[in-house]
Amino acid sequence: MDNLLITGYRAHELGIYNNKHEGIPYIRKAIAKRLIPLLDEGLQWVITPGQYGVDLWAIEVAIELKAQYPALRCSILTAYANPEEQWKDDKKAYFQQLKQGVDFYAPVSKDAYQGSWQFSARDELLLRKTDGILLVYDEDNGEASPKFIKERALKKQSQEGYRFISIGSEEIQAIADEESMNQADY
């Protein structure tokens, strides 16, 4: 696999409203744990839609992994121009910082937000340009924004062998529990 799409929940869908939330490091570790074997197999690009949440945490992980895997490239392809315009200043600054660390950034539509069709166009492009998806999604957590890309990725998997990898809440909880046990040992 050369190109991997990573996406999942938006931060607010997980009850996360700032970058200091205690759950973020565990989500990032789960992403890294899945990415490293793919990098060892030759993964070249990590691509995200750049929404505040799993997308940006994944880019953060990928940027950090570039120290060990210098051939790794990162990209953010947003649905429309300047998606961060409506965000609070701290989130805008975080987004701008990550944009500086990626190898490629572009909006799929050069216009400001006009409608949900922009998300569909973005998702179509992301699925066309990648060989697989790493999706942070939990069936038991109810329906949320990742369900649409999940349905399209599963359809592409059945038709074309598109690789589908998911991270659920149990995997993230296991990492949190392991960390907790390790800290208790000290």
pLDDT tens-place string over residues 15-35: 999 899 999 999 999 999 999
> Taking a C-beta distance cutoff of 8 angstroms, is the pair 134, 5 a contact?
yes
**Residue where the block lists tokens 């598109």:** 162
What does the radius of gyration of the chain's CA atoms come to, in whole angstroms?
16
112 DSSP β-pair partners: none
Q: Which residue would you say has higher pLDDT here, 70 or 143?
A: 70
d(Cα 135, Cα 9) in Å, to the nearest integer?
Answer: 9
Pairing relationship of beta strands 104-107 and 132-136 according to DSSP bridges: unpaired
> Taking a C-beta distance cutoff of 8 angstroms, is the pair 154, 129 a contact?
no
136 DSSP β-pair partners: 8, 167
pLDDT score for 186: 57
d(Cα 53, Cα 10) in Å, to the nearest integer?
Answer: 4
Rounded to the nearest integer, the mean pLDDT of the chain is 95
pLDDT score for 139: 78
Inform me whether the pLDDT recorded for 163 exceeds 60: yes
Tell me which fold the domain 3-185 belongs to.
Answer: Rossmann fold (3.40.50)
Q: What is the pTM of this model?
A: 0.95
Amino acid at 172: I
